[in-house]
Structure 1
C-alpha cells in the first residue's frame, strides 16, 4: 500500500515564495485537519482487505474465494483499485508536507513514517511464514532480510508479502519529491512537472524502457501528479490550468489502468470486471480526493476519523497472510461470514498493535534522521583561521586543530 500517512492538517496560504527550512514551520499556522481524507484512506484499505479475503485467489477457503462469496465478489473485485486511490492521496499529502520544507525535514519525515511499521510487519509476516504457517508461502530467511530494506524489487528478490509492491512505488515517488524539494517547489514549476512528468513516463512506458520506467514511476505517475495538483488547488485556489492537467492525468491513468486491471483481476479471481466501471472508478480516484479537499466536505469536524485513518498503513501491511492464516484455521469450523468478520477484526487488532509500536518508534527515528542529515562535518584544519601568534611563527600557515 501506498504509504499515505502524512498529516492532513494543511498550512494557510503562504507568501508567494515560501521560506524553506525548519524556521518556516513555526511561522505557518495550520488549517483544520482533513478528517474526510483519513476516512477515505481507511475505506480504501478496507476495500483491499475484502478483495484479498473474498475474491483474490487463495487456498485458505478450500476452494476459490469467489465461489465462497458469489454475492459480493463481483463488487469487491473493484477494491483492487485501492492502491491507485492511495497514490492520489499520497501525491496530495506528500506535497503538503514537502512544500516550504527543506530536504532533511522531508527525508526524515518520510523515512520515519515508512520504515518502523514496515519493519514490524516484515518481521511478523516472516515469522508467520517461516515457522508458524510455512504452507502459506515458501520464503527464506535471506529473502526476509532483504525485504527489510524495502529495496527487494531493485535487487530482484521476491516480496515476503505481495502488497509490498506499492511501497517500492511510493519510495520512488519520494525520491522524486526530494529532488523537487532540492530544486525548489513553486506553483509554476509544479504545473510543469505535473504536466511533463506523466507524459514522459507514458512515452517511456510505450517504448518499453524498463530502467527509465522505474525512475519515472511509469504507469502510476498520473495518480501522484493528479494528487499534487489537487493539493495545489486546495492551497492556492482552483485554476483552469490545474484542472486541465488533472484531466490529462486522469485520462492517462485510465489508459494504463483499465487494460492492466482487466488482466490482473481476470487472472487472479473467478470474475471479469467491467472495463467501463474500472474506467469510472479510476477517474473517481481523482474526483473523490478533489471533492473531499476542495469543497465544504473538507470542514467536516469528524475527529473520530483520525485514529481510524492511522490504522490504514499498518492494516495494509499485515492483513494478507495473517488474515489468510486465521481463515485457514477457521474455515472448516464456522460460518463463512463469521470467519470473514473474524479475519477482518483480527487484522484490525494487529494493525492497532503495529500502530502503537509505530507511535513510539517513529518520532525518535525522525528526530535522529533529521539531526544526522543536518549535522555538518567539521571544517578541515587547513581552512580554520590560525591564531595570530601561530601565523607569525609559521609565516601564515594555519595552526593545527
Structure 2
C-alpha cells in the first residue's frame, strides 16, 4: 500500500468530487427529467440513469475526509468553524439565487413558501417537514448529521484505538434499523422510534461513509488489518441488502475501489487540470445546478430545438455559474469566517 502524507491535501479527492458532481448534473438533465419531473422540458439526447449514484461517491469521500479533518483539527471548535465556513455561506448564497430564479421564471412543483424557505437556512428543512428550495439539498442533511456524530465520537476518543469496533456497532445498528423499517409494523412504537433514531444517527448511509472511514484508518496506520477487511465486507453486505437496482451494489464496489486507488496514489491522471477545476467548484455546482438548470433547459426551447445544444449550453452555464460563486462567494466567505472566528478555536 502506498502511503499518504497526512499533512497534505489530496488533490485526487477533489477530482473525484468534481466527477461525482458532474455525474449528478448529467443524471438530472437526462434520465432525471423523466424520473423526477411530471412536466415535459425537452427530450434528452441520451440517458444517464446511474449518474445519481454520484451522491454515493460523495458520501464515501466524506467518510474519508471528515475522519482526516478531525485527525488534523486542533480542537472541536476549529472543526466546527471549518465545517461551518465550508458549508453554510455557499449554501445560503446558492439557495437564495435558486429561490429568486425559480420564483421569477417558475418551475411547476417547486414553489416554496416563505416559511419553508426560512426553514432551509439551518440545512435541516425535513426535520420540520418543510419543502427544500432545491431537491439536491437532501444529501446535505445526511452530511451534517454525519459530521455531528463523528465529532461526538471523536471527542469521546472512539477513534483512537477502537475504529473497527465502533464502525461495526454503527453498521450493526444500521442493519437492525433497516430490518425493522422493512419488516416492522408502521403503527408500532418500535417502528416509529427506529425511524427517529435512524434520522439523526446517519444509519441510512453509514455503509457508504464507513467505506471512506475505514480506508482512511488503514492509510493513517499505514497497515491493512483483518478488521479493516471485515468492516468493508459488512459495508458491502449492507450495500447489497439495500440495493435499489441491479447495478447498485457493483457500482458501490467500484466506487470503493476507486476511492482506495485515488487516495493511495495509483490514479495520477486525476490531477489533470480540468478535473481539479471541477473538484474546486464541485460544492456550488452540486447546489446550484438542478432547478436553475431545468429553468434554463426549458427557456432555451425558444432559441433552439436541438437537445444536444440545449444540454450543452445549460451544462456550460451551470459550470460557469458555479465557478463565479466559488470565486466570489465560497472562497472569500471561508477565509472571512475562519479569520473572524480563529480566536475562538
Whether TM-score is above 0.5 comes out as yes
TM-score, normalised to structure 2's length? 0.87
Hey, what does 1:227 align to over in structure 2? 212
CA displacement at 1:140 relative to structure 2: 1.4
Hey, what does 2:308 align to over in structure 1? 337
> In the alignment, does 2:170 pair up with 1:197?
yes
Change (3 A) 1:318 1:331: same
Task: Give the one of 305, 308, 315 matched to 2:278.
Answer: 308
Question: Partners in 1 of 2:56 and 2:63 — Cα distance?
Answer: 11
> In the alignment, does 2:112 pair up with 1:127?
no
Q: Secondary structure at the match of 2:312?
A: helix
Change (3 A) 1:363 1:80: same
CA contact (8 A) 1:233 1:294 kept: no
Question: Partners in 1 of 2:294 and 2:87 — Cα distance?
Answer: 24
Hey, what does 2:260 align to over in structure 1? 290
Hey, what does 1:19 align to over in structure 2? none
Which structure ranks higher in relative contact order (CA pairs < 8 Å, sequence separation ≥ 6)? 2
> In the alignment, does 2:191 pair up with 1:206?
no
Question: Partners in 1 of 2:302 and 2:325 — Cα distance?
Answer: 29
Hey, what does 1:27 align to over in structure 2? none
Change (3 A) 1:278 1:134: closer
Stretches of structure 2 lacking an aligned partner (at least 5 in a row): 182-193
Which segment drifts farther, 282-291 or 83-92? 282-291
> In the alignment, does 2:223 pair up with 1:250?
no
Task: Give the one of 78, 85, 90 matched to 1:117.
Answer: 90
Hey, what does 2:191 align to over in structure 1? none
Change (3 A) 1:243 1:193: same
Change (3 A) 1:329 1:49: same
Question: Partners in 2 of 1:318 and 1:307 — Cα distance?
Answer: 16
* 1:190-231, Cα deviation, whole Å (9 max, x unpaired): 111221111112212222311111122122011111101101
Q: Secondary structure at the match of 1:245?
A: helix
Stretches of structure 1 lacking an aligned partner (at least 5 in a row): 1-9, 13-29, 263-274, 375-401
Question: Partners in 1 of 2:168 and 2:66 — Cα distance?
Answer: 18
Hey, what does 1:239 align to over in structure 2? 225
Hey, what does 1:391 align to over in structure 2? none
Question: Partners in 2 of 1:62 and 1:47 — Cα distance?
Answer: 20
Q: Secondary structure at the match of 1:41?
A: helix
Which segment drifts farther, 120-129 or 236-245? 236-245
CA displacement at 1:247 relative to structure 2: 1.9
Question: Partners in 1 of 2:280 and 2:104 — Cα distance?
Answer: 30
| Structure having the higher Rg | 1
Change (3 A) 1:248 1:153: same
> In the alignment, does 2:264 pair up with 1:279?
no
Specify which structure has the higher proportion of helix. Answer: 2
> In the alignment, does 2:140 pair up with 1:170?
no
Question: Partners in 1 of 2:18 and 2:270 — Cα distance?
Answer: 16
Question: Partners in 1 of 2:160 and 2:238 — Cα distance?
Answer: 22
Task: Give the one of 341, 353, 358 matched to 2:324.
Answer: 353
Question: Partners in 2 of 1:224 and 1:304 — Cα distance?
Answer: 26
Question: Partners in 1 of 2:293 and 2:234 — Cα distance?
Answer: 38
Hey, what does 2:185 align to over in structure 1? none
Task: Give the one of 272, 293, 301 matched to 1:323.
Answer: 293
Change (3 A) 1:125 1:317: same
Question: Partners in 2 of 1:300 and 1:348 — Cα distance?
Answer: 19
Provide the alpha-carbon RMSD of the alignment.
Answer: 2.2
* 1:231-270, Cα deviation, whole Å (9 max, x unpaired): 11222222222122112112212211x23xx4xxxxxxxx
Change (3 A) 1:191 1:367: farther
Question: Partners in 1 of 2:119 and 2:342 — Cα distance?
Answer: 25
* 1:362-398, Cα deviation, whole Å (9 max, x unpaired): 12213434534x4xxxxxxxxxxxxxxxxxxxxxxxx
Which segment drifts farther, 288-297 or 108-117? 288-297
Question: Partners in 1 of 2:300 and 2:39 — Cα distance?
Answer: 9
Change (3 A) 1:326 1:80: same
CA contact (8 A) 1:187 1:232 kept: no
* 1:266-309, Cα deviation, whole Å (9 max, x unpaired): xxxxxxxxx1x222102222111011113533697546643331
